[in-house]
Amino acid sequence: RERLLDRPREVVAFVPSARSWTSWLAEARAEAARGAWREAIHLGYWAAVSRLEGDGLWRPDKTRTPREYLNAIPAANSSKPIFAVVTKTFESSWYGGRPASAEDFARFMAEIENLGCRG
């Protein structure tokens, strides 16, 4: 029997804009329809990142953390305070393990819609 650790690991490049923000958003909504609020917020976050990256706000970089995405936005850009809220919601739910609810997702969706993720 082959052990998992003995197999070579495949490195998968992850660039959010390699997938359209509309695809991320559709998947987020599908998870929300199942009541998987935490996963819906996670996917919605990547929709926002893909949208901003696709708009040329920063160059794709597969090593960026959520805080680095936020810090890549110039201070004068009107998207920065909105994306700060989006990032905080994502981080507290995904990394902080805070339970998410339908209300959390609705507030989160309102914020990413302000970033142009509508559809």
User: Contact 109/40 with Cβ under 8 angstroms?
Assistant: no
Q: Model-level pTM?
A: 0.85
- Residue 96 makes CB contacts below 8 A (sequence gap 6+) with none
pLDDT at 59: 87
| 96's tokens | 């902080």
Q: Record the tokens describing residue 52, joined without a space.
A: 């901003």
Position 17 pLDDT exceeds 90 = no
What local confidence, expressed as pLDDT, does residue 61 receive?
84
Q: Is 91 exposed, middle or buried (0-12, 13-18, 19+ CB in 10 A)?
A: middle
Angle between helix 102-114 and helix 79-90 axes, rounded to 10 deg: 150
Percent of the chain's residues with pLDDT above 90: 71
- CA–CA separation, 90 vs 5, rounded Å? 31
Residue from 35, 21, 30, 28 nearest 115 by CA: 21
Per DSSP, the chain holds a count of helices (H) and strands (E) of 5, 0
